[in-house]
Structure 1
């Protein structure tokens, strides 16, 4: 591993072998002087879009029944980064919560979007996190879109700052994903994502937490991607960006720790199935092939009684690239006028 400094960042260059045997560089950002709100705001004021306008940053938080945690995620971003001009807006996409998630998020300073009323498509059957993210991109106004999970038990604004900084400074980057030194999760990562990446995308093997819910991307990049409606979307973003722009367009940044609520094992099984389904579908498509007809989309998990099997349908649908929609051009003109 070769370590060097760039832009006063502490950057680790992780060298791995790509699909064709060539060395691929994964940029790993370990720390930056732009972690603070004022410092990031200064860099942002000096950054422009290809059209010459000042770059805007949106933080999008997919949330469902996060009343316990949502204020603790929104408030630091609003009070630190929005107040300093480092972030332009915080958008919470409320995915049909039955608790006080929406009102608490609005009270903390977020713009709350109701999932079923957002975007060019209203109801999306069997919608999951991918569909919420897709609508969040549509609803946001930023040239850089930062996704943050809404279920953090402990959160601070530097987690957003560290994701945004590399994209403002390095035009070659399209996507920056978080990793954590202290994290008790990652069960799906180690059991499914890392083996699949090693098999299909060895050029991404240097990513520490490829399924992290905290990441930032250029809007134009996200708008050109297909979005699986379920859990496979985090993997799919990496897959598509790597195929289109190369692994060197993807970086990772150390956010130090993550504490959040965790799902049960049945949830993990479903998440892993949806990831594997998306990975195989994309790989077969790249070869001009379709999924075999006999492949199912139901996950079998043990029930409460011995011998009992519970069937859970996986979400295998996908949403088209936003750029392919007739309404997208009007949406972008509206955004640029605002």
Structure 2
């Protein structure tokens, strides 16, 4: 029984402990400070409202040298009343109240509010009581906000762009005591914006609370002018204190000069490689001047940045964030220029007697003949050695195949040696791997960078067999096509860089189109093979069109046609080079949907 009581006592103590922790987190003491100057008309309404709020444990009113009944009304309400013998300003009144206040949270409320409700006051305190904020400021609908719109917001956007409050001069706000003890309150109307800027600099969590409609007494033009002057002075003072003017002026100028230096370097590099009419000596001089300017101002930027970063009373994280906010466009410009310079340098080749720098770039392809294909960015490519056991395989990315007008599974003959074109290993999107013999015949070496526009020059004159419409040719392990369930054609072409009028070659089996590809026809003889056996040689020229071949082979009617095409670089192989067409027919049956029509050759 005694053990049961011990367990029960432990559970009760744990529950009480949890409850006490919750009470500590939620029921922080709250003091309200109300600065007042000649507010006899509205003061009582404000006091009646705050007295109803249970979480407010202390109400302090500071009479800032009023000449009306403000002090008398305050003394009749059983609250703490402090009095200045002469008017010192709103900030001074708030500072006097803060010194007297004992709460963990301090709420500052204006005394000139004509209508203020309990829910609005609670809304100001709620985020801090729940631990979601260190300081809350209000926004509300009001008739006038000329000082905010004409002075505060423009200056804040210039010096403190990371602050994006709808009403930075709201007047009603609450804050934790620990924060308020660290700052020095302004003496007059600049106190509100000063607290916000200090909170931002110290990394406090600021929440803007919408409390709906609220009504102030309208200020006179003279009062607005004085208020505007105080707000401007406070923002500029804080900008100087927190290094924002240095950021915008000295540091900003240094960054702009750094950009100019980098721009000169870029211009000089473009002059060396791309601007033909610019003498080399002038381009080199521009680069040297750019390097000198960039180096000098880079050192200056580093020194000023470290000085600002190491200032006292400023959150390091906040300083860094502010720097990025203020200079984000120029920082991005510097990054872009550096990337451009790095890209332009391209490939650097070092030999025994020279250093070669050749800029390389990708090739943007915008198709004009096939609208279904989108734009393609190709190259540059780096030549590398073949993988182990790939003695007769060339592995290359798909973009290079598009440039060569080939496909995986096609065959390329290099000095009478056949190589199969296959997919690269994963992530090797810019490498062309080929065996040593192929590299030697093509007079290239590992590490060589090939621009996409020069790729056809590398393979120029090579005999390329396109195995069209064959499914098994896409299997990397397949070298030959022996067991097929359909009929397909292989087309012999030559890799060329010359642009000529092309024909559209179409091959039919039993009136079913089995392949279609463009290419150039010259005045020459072209051989047609069936199942690898020479069947007929045709005499063709660039005027040949229509049906050029028609025969029946083992119940399969084969027909070949030529149609007019557009200009291109694809060239069909004539009989002196290799096979023009090799038609592969399955001996075990006809293709699907085949007809029984036959025609003699």
Query: What interval of TM-score do these two structures reach, taking the shorter chain for normalisation?
Result: 0.5 to 0.7
2:100 is equivalent to residue 139 of structure 1: yes
Q: Distance in 2 between matches of 1:264 and 1:100?
A: 21
- Counterpart CA distance in 2 for 1:153 and 1:219 is 28
Question: Post-superposition shift, 1:166?
Answer: 0.4
Deviations 1:180-202 (A, max 9, x none): 1x211211111111111111112
Is the 1:44–1:86 contact (alpha carbons within 8 Å) kept by the matching residues of 2? no
> What TM-score, normalized by structure 2, do the two folds share?
0.36
2:183 corresponds to: 225
Q: Find the residue that maps to 2:34 and give its secondary structure.
A: strand
Deviation at 1:110, TM superposition (A): 2.6
In structure 2, runs of 5+ residues without a counterpart are 1-18, 247-312, 314-601
Which residue in the other structure is 1:100 paired with?
Answer: 69
Residue from 165, 168, 179 that aligns with 2:139: 179
Where do 1:254-293 residues align within 5 Å? Answer: 254-287=210-243
- Secondary structure of residue in 1 paired with 2:114: strand
TM-score (normalised: structure 1): 0.63
**Alpha-carbon distance in structure 1 between the residues aligned to 2:49 and 2:83:** 22
User: 2:41 maps to what in 1?
Assistant: 68
- Within 5 Å, give how 1:117-136 maps onto structure 2: 127-136=88-97
> Is contact 1:166–1:176 with CA below 8 Å preserved after alignment?
yes
* Structure 1 residue 217 displacement after superposition: 0.4
Q: Secondary structure at the match of 2:62?
A: strand
Task: Pick one of 188, 212, 215 that aligns with 2:173.
Answer: 215
Looking at structure 2, the residues matched to 105 and 259 of structure 1 have their Cα atoms a distance apart, in angstroms, of 21
Tell me the secondary structure at the aligned position of residue 225 of structure 2.
Answer: helix
Give the CA deviation at 1:54: 5.0
Q: Give per-residue Cα distances to partners, 1:83-113, cap 9 Å, x unaligned.
A: xx31102111111111111221232343211
Rounded to whole Å, the distance in 2 between the matches of 1:45 and 1:157 is: 27
Find the counterpart in structure 1 of residue 24 from structure 2: 48
**SS at 1:91's partner residue?**
strand
3-state DSSP class of the match of 2:91? helix
Contact 2:44 2:73 in 1 (8 A): yes
* Equivalent residues of 2:201, 2:242 under 8 A apart: no
- What residue in structure 2 maps to residue 152 of structure 1? 113
Q: CA deviation at 1:289?
A: 8.5
Q: What is the number of residues matched between the two proteins?
A: 229
RMSD: 2.6
- Relative to structure 1, is the Cα distance of residues 194 and 47 closer, same or farther in structure 2, using a 3 angstrom cutoff? farther
Match of 1:331 in 2: none
Deviation (angstroms), 1:155? 1.6
SS at match of 2:97: helix
Report which of the two structures shows the higher radius of gyration computed on alpha carbons: 2
Alpha-carbon distance in 1 for matches of 2:157, 2:245: 21
Unmatched tracts of structure 1, length 5 or more: 1-42, 117-122, 291-320, 322-338
Cα distance change on mapping 1:285 and 1:183 into 2, 3 Å? same
Query: Equivalents in 1 of 2:224, 2:180: separation in Å?
Result: 26
Partners of 2:56 and 2:33 lie apart in 1 by: 11
| 3-state SS of paired residue (2:230) | helix
| Residues 1:163 and 2:117 aligned together | no
Check 1:72–1:229 CA distance in 2 against 1; reply closer, same or farther (3 A cut). same
- Conserved? CA contact 2:27–2:129, under 8 Å: no
Provide the rounded CA distance (Å) in 2 between the counterparts of 1:109 and 1:286: 42
Distance across 2 between alignment mates of 1:133 and 1:56? 18
